[in-house]
Structure 1
């Protein structure tokens, strides 16, 4: 038998700062850029009741960890459940099992911040945020850790939601956060645009983007999820988290390709290649850049291992036992 640690969502919540998530995720993508294995999401769907079972995984050899996410969403209770198994990448032994719910916006936000840091102008100070849910909160708090922001304009179709979001975030971060009445009003003067929605249609007009804008899109992980229009993809240096997923579930890229706005060589590089210095990031102040963040095991393993290490230091978690196959399969 071998012992591992189980960490509840409550134990994981608040265990690390947004900046700590960003550094862990940046290191994970650097390893990916130097060849660390990662597999895009795989999804099984159920018709009745409607729901999906999704997983993705990665190995981070320098971190010494491997694992990923497996989550169920929809089904009869229309909720979601996140499980994060973590293994030692040398021995293969289980290290931990995390309830991955509370870390989700932070590890996803950290990925957006790593993409922003790699591709946005160094002097970027203003943000347009489309979306006002938990993922938008995670994105903004993480990006605030990599740029000296001054102003944030948030738009959500529901007036109460965007105003509540602005009030809450004004208490958590230094830059001024204001709700605006349209996505156009948010985007027109922004240095950084973040989309954190579940939209199936573009949420702003790509012609509104000023030269030098960076866009991070994190809500397009399905062929029919399309936060960005073809014009945005056409104008931009396009960097996904994983190249392998772009024609599988990067909805905005797929639509732009289908419309003939881009050719199939439009992918500039993976984020990891940029972070590792294997490919250039921003090459001029006038470039428009897009980071397409659909979710991978890279940020999941990097974040989970960071939380596991911090939990050990603080004596958090409970022990669970796993039987090795050499014993269990033989009945010894």
Structure 2
């Protein structure tokens, strides 16, 4: 069994490769070639959470379990907001193949999935990027979105303005488009072509009046039905796509709330992103459409990336080998 840490992952995969892996994984999701139980978790008395995502993937055939711990004490500190392990098994005998850094896999694959959806749904000339949130996913999303569109400015909303300078310094001006800090969400979104919501908000922070014709939104940060970043009333004006019907129906807070209020019907969702990749459904109809990709994340993404990392580690002699059996 190989143990593959964060440093190994950085050497084994780049963002462009990860985006391509996400495309392949999401097609399999929509083709029914996966087994994806809903994520579930253990909530500690202090509201910290251990989340668990098991799954099976047909190609390459494997199965596994990702365990990610979301700890309040890590917010704004040196530790990742998502710490944990990804366990990868081969499908014939169930032998463990690898133990990987789940935090780094989650950061990369989530941003790569947003970039994949952006490439499919955003206008081709989209150039202004807005990021609602300033944590790890904000950084990963800037890296990912810049791979699929020619971005000329990035606008970031900071809940805590004192963090802006340190964030901006991670993107040297000679290598990246200018990063502009905002302290109000509506200012951050004004004029944006692409919006990524990657906050820890429990209640809506993006509302219908903030949306502009032609926008594409990747709604990422809220992953349980009790939380929502996008106000449910905004859904009336959007073409709304999901990563996986089952998880969206049970865990996308704004979708569930809009249905409960009878604002939308059961047929509101346009389809899964894998169906769009496969040409089964249409994406953006016209330049003025507002499109949404609702990203909850699925184990198929983790498995596809983990298996790629395992294969690359074996070929390149990276990772630490453990005689486990």
SS state of the match for residue 169, structure 1?
A: coil
The match for 2:54 among 53, 57, 75 is: 57
- Over residues 108-135 of structure 1, what are the superposed CA-to-partner deviations in whole Å (9 max), with x where a residue is unaligned? 1111111111211112111111111101
Instruction: Judge conservation of contact 2:130–2:196 (CA < 8 Å) in 1.
Output: yes
Report the Cα distance in structure 2 between the residues aligned to 1:97 and 1:263, rounded to whole angstroms: 42
1:321 deviation in Å? 3.9
Report the Cα distance in structure 1 between the residues aligned to 2:15 and 2:114, rounded to whole angstroms: 11
Structure 1 residues 91, 125: CA separation in 2 closer, same or farther (over 3 Å shift)? farther
SS state of the match for residue 127, structure 1?
A: strand
2:202 counterpart of 1:200: yes
- Over residues 220-275 of structure 1, what are the superposed CA-to-partner deviations in whole Å (9 max), with x where a residue is unaligned? 11112110012322211111111101232111212222333222221111111112
Report the Cα distance in structure 2 between the residues aligned to 1:151 and 1:240, rounded to whole angstroms: 27
Report the Cα distance in structure 1 between the residues aligned to 2:203 and 2:293, rounded to whole angstroms: 18
1:93 deviation in Å? 3.5
1:216-231 aligned at under 5 Å gives the runs: 216-231=218-233
Greater shift, 163-172 or 266-275, is seen at: 163-172
Structure 1 residues 109, 80: CA separation in 2 closer, same or farther (over 3 Å shift)? closer
Report the Cα distance in structure 1 between the residues aligned to 2:175 and 2:209, rounded to whole angstroms: 30
Greater shift, 92-101 or 48-57, is seen at: 48-57
RMSD over aligned Cα, in angstroms?
2.3
Report the Cα distance in structure 2 between the residues aligned to 1:75 and 1:123, rounded to whole angstroms: 39
SS state of the match for residue 36, structure 2?
A: strand
Structure 1 residues 38, 235: CA separation in 2 closer, same or farther (over 3 Å shift)? farther
Structure 1 residues 160, 172: CA separation in 2 closer, same or farther (over 3 Å shift)? farther
Report the Cα distance in structure 2 between the residues aligned to 1:261 and 1:100, rounded to whole angstroms: 37
Structure 1 residues 77, 226: CA separation in 2 closer, same or farther (over 3 Å shift)? closer
Partner of 1:119: 121
2:170 counterpart of 1:168: yes
User: Larger radius of gyration, structure 1 or 2?
Assistant: 1
Structure 1 residues 103, 47: CA separation in 2 closer, same or farther (over 3 Å shift)? closer
Partner of 2:108: 106
1:237-256 aligned at under 5 Å gives the runs: 237-256=239-258
1:310 deviation in Å? 2.1
SS state of the match for residue 45, structure 1?
A: strand
Structure 1 residues 75, 177: CA separation in 2 closer, same or farther (over 3 Å shift)? closer
After the TM superposition, list the runs of 4 or more consecutive aligned residues in structure 1 that deviate by more than 6 angstroms: 75-79
Partner of 2:34: 37
Report the Cα distance in structure 1 between the residues aligned to 2:220 and 2:82, rounded to whole angstroms: 18
TM-score by structure 2 length? Answer: 0.90
Report the Cα distance in structure 2 between the residues aligned to 1:77 and 1:124, rounded to whole angstroms: 34
Partner of 2:78: none
Instruction: Judge conservation of contact 2:41–2:52 (CA < 8 Å) in 1.
Output: no
Structure 1 unaligned blocks of 5 or more: 324-332
The match for 2:147 among 127, 130, 145 is: 145
1:89 deviation in Å? 3.9
1:199 deviation in Å? 0.3
- Between the two proteins, the alignment pairs up a number of residues equal to 320
Instruction: Judge conservation of contact 1:53–1:72 (CA < 8 Å) in 2.
Output: yes
Structure 1 residues 122, 40: CA separation in 2 closer, same or farther (over 3 Å shift)? farther
